């Protein structure tokens, strides 16, 4: 398994606008073998067993989502996914709601 690190939030990160306002921000990094598109990464990330568990919990509070929804989010076809909405048009830019 690849090591996951917690580097400082890059200055160019979309979350940087919240870092100085008392908002919670984080940054995680790992090296993956191979090359993946943004859509492939997003779809894979949101369909892991851990996120499926989170999605099941969110279903209990009327925030349903599916693997199909994750793929549509990854392709930029939808702006809402489970408890999140797209905040910026850049790939992967989301915020909790």
pLDDT confidence of residue 41 = 87
Q: What is the domain extent for residue 7?
A: 1-31
Residue 7: phi, psi to the nearest 5? -75, 165
Considering only CA atoms, give the Rg of the chain.
Answer: 14
Distance CA 55, CA 59 (A): 6
Alpha helices in the chain, H assignment, sequence order: 16-19, 38-46, 49-59, 67-74
Q: What total of structural domains would you count in the chain?
A: 2
Q: Tell me the pLDDT of the chain (97 aa) as tens digits.
A: 679 999 999 888 888 888 877 788 899 999 989 999 888 988 998 899 999 999 999 999 999 999 999 999 989 899 998 888 888 865 544 444 4
pLDDT confidence of residue 65 = 92
pLDDT confidence of residue 54 = 92
50 and 81 fall within a common domain: yes
Inter-residue contact 39 to 74 (CB < 8 Å): yes
Residue 84: phi, psi to the nearest 5? -115, 155
pTM above 0.85, yes or no: no
In a domain, 96, yes or no: no
59 and 77 fall within a common domain: yes
25 and 43 fall within a common domain: no
pLDDT confidence of residue 1 = 67
| Cα dihedral sign, 72-77-82-86 | positive
pLDDT confidence of residue 6 = 95
pLDDT confidence of residue 56 = 93
């Amino acid at each position: 398994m690849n090591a996951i690190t917690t580097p400082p939030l890059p200055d160019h990160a979309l979350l940087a606008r919240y870092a100085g306002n008392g908002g919670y921000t984080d940054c995680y990094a790992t090296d993956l073998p191979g090359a993946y598109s943004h859509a492939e990464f997003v779809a894979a990330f949101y369909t892991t067993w851990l996120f499926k568990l989170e999605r099941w919990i969110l279903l209990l509070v009327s925030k349903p989502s599916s693997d199909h929804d994750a793929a549509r989010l990854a392709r930029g076809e939808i702006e809402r996914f489970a408890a999140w909405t797209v905040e910026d048009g850049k790939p992967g830019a989301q915020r909790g709601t």
